[in-house]
Amino acid sequence: MSNQKIKKANGAEPDEFESQVAQELLNLEMTSTDLKASLRDLYITAAKEVDCGAGSKAIILYVPYKLQKSFQKIQARLIRELEKKFSGRHVVIVAQRNILGKSYARSQKTKGLRPRSRTLTAVQDAILEDIVYPTEITGKRTRCKVDGRRILKVYLDGRDQANVEGRTDTYAAIYGKLTNKQVSFIFSS
């Protein structure tokens, strides 16, 4: 029954953790009156548990790119409910995106370059936007240190500071796990 809330690529079977997350989504659809209609047609493609350091864990829900806008409409309520169910672990929703290599060649019918939205940089920027949603990113700076390390400084909207301040370490850990890039979050005034 819970498998209707998770559809993996190529019909693969979900693992135990993904089934548990899918079951919670199904339970929310059945019990929550305000989320029932919104969750009816939505499903996830994968779920991952990520270690964020200091003994805390976070859950990443991967959703199909086409359903991302629908998830974002109910994201605040959905995340609040899921965090209650998973005992305070932070939940992040990220759209499933494809990265096409530089040597990507289209078929004979559709000639042209690879779409900009499928480049590594564009996908990593989009992942960052997904992680911090509903907060807006107001600016980015890349800081190159003397030893060669690069740190991405991301400036978030100051109006959301009260809601997001406790989550910035989780966001940085998740972005680091997904992209192997260091990031620090600062609130602009």
Strands 150-156 and 182-187: parallel
39 token code pair: 């969750």
Lowest mean pLDDT among 35-39, 125-129, 146-150: 35-39
Q: How many residues does the chain have?
A: 189
93-141 per-position pLDDT tens digit: 899 888 887 777 776 666 677 778 888 888 989 999 999 888 888 999 9
159-181 per-position pLDDT tens digit: 888 888 888 888 899 898 888 98
Q: Which pLDDT value is given to residue 37? A: 74
Report the distance separating Cα 139 and Cα 158, nearest Å: 12
Report the distance separating Cα 62 and Cα 53, nearest Å: 21
153: confidence class by pLDDT, cuts 50, 70, 90: very high
In the chain, % of residues over pLDDT 70:
96
Report the distance separating Cα 41 and Cα 39, nearest Å: 6
Neighbours of 51 (CB within 10 A): 11
Contacts of residues 47-53 at CB distance under 8 Å and 24 or more positions apart, as own/partner, are 47/6, 47/17, 47/18, 47/21, 47/22, 48/17, 49/17, 49/89, 50/173, 50/174, 50/177, 51/173, 52/90, 52/169, 52/170, 52/173, 52/174, 53/169, 53/173
Q: Is the pLDDT of residue 1 over 60?
A: no
10-29 per-position pLDDT tens digit: 777 878 888 888 888 888 77
